[in-house]
Amino acid sequence: DYRVFGFNSGTAKGHNLMGMESESDYMMIMNPDVILEPQCIVKLMDALQDNEVGMAEARQTPLEHAKEYDKKTGETEWASTACTIFKTSIFKEIGGFDADTFFLYCDDLDFSWRLRLAGYKIQYVPSAIAYHAKTLSIDGTWTPTGAEIYYSAEAAILLAYKWSNTQRAEYLSKQFQNHGGASEKKAAEEY
């Protein structure tokens, strides 16, 4: 299905609008600027054959999120939904993504943590490769847009507020206000 909602839903709400109606056994979320290597889906689905694994994540290239994972099993604490597959039954069991809190970014962290609290594992599959388009500078770094910086800061504060405590959220807010750029300061002020 390809649907146009007619409004900017953000990622969490967009995933929910499509996912809650899904009748398939599995759901795949993939950014529109991702191209899969030929065996990517097969490798992700292999990981999901283990009943304890609720979600499998592909390795993004040329840039990957820094994360820890067990080198033998691939088990990790969270998955980026730039390219991931999970069981639809688990998506519905945990109530999908938290669209009331997250508009863009960190909704995948929150989803991952709730999936783990429900007793499922997340497996990072480094051999399942997803080419995620990024414009790199001459020194190989990625420069995010103002919107990416703003929504990342906003999501970080909201994630801390939801999962840690108000003191952590206040700390992040003050850090962004005192040391951040214009986009981070705006997110902190709106918090």
- Tell how strand 75-76 and strand 121-132 pair up: antiparallel
Average pLDDT, stretch 150-162?
93
Average pLDDT, stretch 124-147?
83
CA distance linking residue 149 with residue 96, whole number of Å: 25
Based on C-alpha coordinates, what's the Rg of the chain? 17
Residue that is written with structure tokens 């490769």 in the block: 129
pTM of whole model > 0.75?
Answer: yes
pLDDT in tens, 80-111: 999 999 999 999 999 999 999 999 999 999 99
